[in-house]
Structure 1
Amino acid sequence: MDETQRLFYRKNFQVRFLRSTATEFQNLFSDIMQRVYKADFQKVRPYGKHGDLKCDGFLSSKGAVYQCYAPRELKEKETIHKIKVDYPGAKKHWRDQMKQWVFVHNDNDGLPGGVVRHLHVLKTSEKKKVEVFWWSEPELIGEMEKLDEADLVDLFGPQPTKVQSQIISFPELQTVLTAISKSIPDPEPVIKAPSPEKIAHNNLSEDTTRFLHLGRHLEREVQKFLEKWPDPAFADQIAETFRNQYDALRNTGLNSEEIFVGILRFCGFNQGNGSAHNTAVLAVVSYFFERCDIFEDPDAVVFSA
């Protein structure tokens, strides 16, 4: 497995992580942990009058009780209440078996200040009894990266190698572009080329930056495809669709990284269509990232000769 495949797997994970809530998030967490730790990790399901004993998963070797929390919108008051109920409940049910308590959440922006303060107080007060941790995307990626290729394929499907990512076919491009065009708004004739500082200006992650750089090698193929398309307004229509999707995501208050993942999903990334399809999605997103008003351009950029 090469680094390009690893990059695609991380991006696949991010797409699933950011879209998952409630049971779907818990399943993603458990799917990874079960593959990493095998029989050492036990997924816990609610049963009888005691439910799940305030535990979504138990890692025997560490005595770690994992509690997942993935609401559609994480709020400070409700989250603190969740912790106040779940931690004492876990201590009651697991007693001396619980050496660690891990709060696993899905808020990519970070926890509210009051929640972090409450967790730190809990960690300090319990340090002689139970180790308290809280996990989110970075920790779960760390666990995912312990998996071998067979497990990653099982979770996310096959992903392109470096060589495969540099090859793209017109049929795959047609599949992606025609799917995007199904809800085409009125086109605008101008496609603006952004400055080369655009990625840095939008504070996109290192992985996303590398992902877009990888896609740039394929932009010429997208350009060739669009030039051969019989409708000369097709590229403008796709660009307008991208702009509208970007505006819709931005207006929900998402950060740049979440918006980028949302655009990948909108274009069909990580939909179980195979590595060639994901490569085509990357090529299309990279092409229109550079040529239309999705994400922000710096107000002024000075280029040196």
Structure 2
Amino acid sequence: MHFDPAVSIQQRYWWRIALELRLRQCNSGAFQDFFSDIMGHLHGDDFVRVRPFGQLGDKGCDGYLNSSGQLFQCYGALNGETKQVAKITKKMSDDFATAFAKLEVIMLEWHMVHNLIEGMPIEAVTTLKGLEKANPKIKFGFIGFEGVAERVFRLSPERIAALLGPTASEDDTKNLDVAILRKLVNELAAAAEAPQLETGDLRPVPVNKLSYNQLPNHWKMLIAGGWTNAPVVASYFERHPDPLTGDRIAAIFRTKYVYYKAQNLPPAEIMAALLELVTGIGYVLPQQQVVAQALLAYLFENCDIFEREPQMAVS
């Protein structure tokens, strides 16, 4: 994956997280628009943005790369919903059949672009292989999170920022703004519905906790990068006029974490939801990113969110 050497490792991970959040939030036409924006930045006029015109429709095409004959069909599920397996496979078969009937003359490749970050159901894979076997002259493929990320990160930093918003630099991380921390904490406390406090048993984070919880690498880097500022958050709560503020914030996040875990959500999706609990949805300014990162690292370090690895019994 190519990056401008002027972009720090931390900025790269923040943009990757911003991309993940954006994909989880996009569905239907919004997802198609976002993918078209990426392809337009990357390929210029070689990429043809397609829209249905009245009753003519789009003939099964959500975008077309002229030089390679690649035809794209987008499937954007709300928050990566994966339960609609029959809907996914039917859409694949129907959309390809429409494109083949109407656009065979221009279609050399057919790619399904999706936002199912945790992966496709195997039924979608077998459906794609069935289409491939029945149409050996056409190349087929999926474009998921990694494929979208690969295309985004071939862009210049300026164009990535235009798509995903600004990102915190190393200098930003060294200058956590306590006023922003105060504002975010107050907003969280005001929005809480007084969950039951369970403030005991806050032991130091085990070294292997990041690995044990099976977080993707970019989320591991988010937490690890925030540990530098976690003591600032701890100090803020210790000095707060209301001595229980830190406990209340911890309880909010623990309650949310337990709720999401009970739904069997994957670790990355839980972390995305917890980050948005701090930042809200949409572009997040660099100083807000620094504060959110520090707050999540503090909660992770104190074992308010995610799990410790069970200790081996001593014989």
Q: Give the 3 Å change call, closer, same or farther, for CA 253–24 of structure 1 in structure 2.
A: farther
Instruction: Tell me the residue number matched to 2:4.
Output: none
Q: Which runs of 5+ in 1 are unaligned?
A: none
Q: Give the 3 Å change call, closer, same or farther, for CA 233–157 of structure 1 in structure 2.
A: same
Q: Which runs of 5+ in 2 are unaligned?
A: 1-6
- Rounded to whole Å, the distance in 2 between the matches of 1:274 and 1:45 is 33
**1:292 Cα deviation (Å)?**
3.4
What root-mean-square deviation, in Å, do the aligned CA atoms of Structure 1 and Structure 2 show? 1.7
> What TM-score do the two structures reach when normalised by structure 2?
0.90
Contact 1:239–1:288, Cα closer than 8 Å, also in 2? yes
- Rounded to whole Å, the distance in 2 between the matches of 1:124 and 1:167 is 57
- Rounded to whole Å, the distance in 1 between the matches of 2:64 and 2:158 is 24
Structure 1 position 93 matched with structure 2 position 102 = yes
Q: Secondary structure at the match of 1:262?
A: helix
- Alignment equivalent of 1:82, drawn from 87, 91, 101: 91
Q: Identity rate of aligned residues, in percent? A: 26
Structure 1 position 141 matched with structure 2 position 149 = yes
Structure 1 position 42 matched with structure 2 position 51 = no
Contact 1:189–1:233, Cα closer than 8 Å, also in 2? no
Instruction: Tell me the residue number matched to 2:235.
Output: 224
Q: Secondary structure at the match of 1:101?
A: strand
- Rounded to whole Å, the distance in 2 between the matches of 1:89 and 1:201 is 46
- Rounded to whole Å, the distance in 1 between the matches of 2:299 and 2:124 is 39
> What TM-score do the two structures reach when normalised by structure 1?
0.93
Instruction: Tell me the residue number matched to 1:19.
Output: 25
- Alignment equivalent of 1:190, drawn from 182, 200, 223: 200
Trace 1:242-253 onto structure 2 (pairs within 5 A): 242-253=253-264
Contact 2:14–2:167, Cα closer than 8 Å, also in 1? yes
Q: Secondary structure at the match of 1:267?
A: helix
**1:288 Cα deviation (Å)?**
0.5
Deviates more, 1:191-200 or 1:164-173: 191-200
Instruction: Tell me the residue number matched to 1:112.
Output: 121
- Rounded to whole Å, the distance in 1 between the matches of 2:304 and 2:92 is 42
Aligned AA (2:116): D
Q: Secondary structure at the match of 1:61?
A: coil
- Rounded to whole Å, the distance in 2 between the matches of 1:189 and 1:146 is 45
Trace 1:1-305 onto structure 2 (pairs within 5 A): 1-72=7-78, 73-74=81-82, 75-127=84-136, 129-184=137-192, 185=194, 186-190=196-200, 192-193=202-203, 194-268=205-279, 271-300=282-311
